[in-house]
Amino acid sequence: MTDTHSVPNIELRDVSFAFSGPNVLDAVDLTIGQRDLVCIIGPNGGGKTTLLRLILGLLIPNTGSIKVLGSTPKKSRHRIGYMPQHTRLDPQFPVTVRDVVLMGRLGLAPSAGPFRSIDHDAADAALKRLELLDRRDDSFAALSGGQRQRVLIARALACEPKILLLDEPTANLDLPIQRDLYDLLREFAREFTVVLVSHDVGFVSDFVRSVVCVNRTVRVHETNQLTGDVMSDVYGRDVRMVHHDHDHHHDQDQGRDQIGHRHD
């Protein structure tokens, strides 16, 4: 851990957002530093996805300002490697694994004509890091859910990102494979900023520097402060959400549901 974390990569100042009705996110202040490894957690409907979409510039905040890599989200988003949940995609689509990863090279390759050989090399290098190089000519449809998710991580890597943004990267993975993936993400965080959304708060706090709890408002917890009774709260059977002064403690029930996933 060097002091590069003090260089902000993502900065939200007093950001509020509503679709039409009550605020989904309210007065959010959040700073994520360079080469930080951060996990966003929170109940479903708490605003995790909205927060991601704001950072990507796919949504515009009603109030407040967002800076990504020193500029607007829209201007900086080509430097973000984004991994959506694979369940959003059509599993029948006729593409190979390598075709999918090559999509990460869009915006880097010339717009007319096919991908260049350096794009193919970059795609292969990304696949290699995810240990999927031998599957590159396979149909994307033939892979398991977990493998597809890893292909989408490779695609995000092929973007040559400054920030890697992962939406539920561990959703379809067995525990040992999850552990491997977190090790890999820690390795990535030496090269660029890594932000992931996860349900598995207990497990993830072993690996990340800080946890961002999103439930309309945002609270940040350094994981090295997650000690003592907070840790037992997080890991115990009778789990509660990480202790903090959210102004709505009734969400503890939802928090229990969230963390309950890791006992499945």
Partner 1 sequence: MTEFFSAVLEHSFLRLAVLMTLLAGVACGIVGTYVVTRRITYIAGAVAHCVLGGMGVERYFQAIYGWEHTHPIIGATVAALIAAIIIGLVTLKAKQREDTVISAVWAIGMAVGVLFIAKTPGYQTDLQSYLFGNILLVSPAEITMVALLDAIVLTLVLLFYKQFQAVCFDEEFARLRGIHVEMYYLLLLAMTALAVVLLVYVVGIVMVIALLTLPAAIAAMFARKLWHTMTGAAILATLFSLGGLAISYEPDLPAGATTIVLAGVTYITVAILTSLSTRRHQPG
Q: Which residues bind partner 1 (CB under 8 A)?
A: 56, 58, 77-78, 80, 82, 84, 88-90, 92-96, 99-100, 102-104, 106-107, 109, 111-115, 137-139, 155, 159
Smallest separation (angstroms) from partner 1 to the CB of 133? 17
Smallest separation (angstroms) from partner 1 to the CB of 214? 20
Q: What are phi and psi of 200, to 5 degrees?
A: -85, 75
Q: What is the spatial distance between Cα 73 and Cα 170, in angstroms, rounded to a whole number?
A: 26
Smallest separation (angstroms) from partner 1 to the CB of 68? 12
**b/e sequence 225-236, b meaning 16+ C-beta within 10 Å:** ebeeebeebbbe
Q: What is the spatial distance between Cα 171 and Cα 146, in angstroms, rounded to a whole number?
A: 8
Of 93, 17, 28, residue with least CA distance to 61: 17
Which of 48, 77 has the CB closer to partner 1? Answer: 77
Which of 102, 239 has the CB closer to partner 1? Answer: 102
Token duo for residue 1: 């851990």
Which of 64, 84 has the CB closer to partner 1? Answer: 84
Place of tokens 């820690």: 186
Sequence-distant (6+) residues with CB within 8 A of 255 are: 43, 239, 240, 241
Smallest separation (angstroms) from partner 1 to the CB of 191? 20
CB atoms under 10 Å from CB of 175, counted, come to 11
Which of 70, 114 has the CB closer to partner 1? Answer: 114
Which of 94, 176 has the CB closer to partner 1? Answer: 94
Smallest separation (angstroms) from partner 1 to the CB of 31? 22
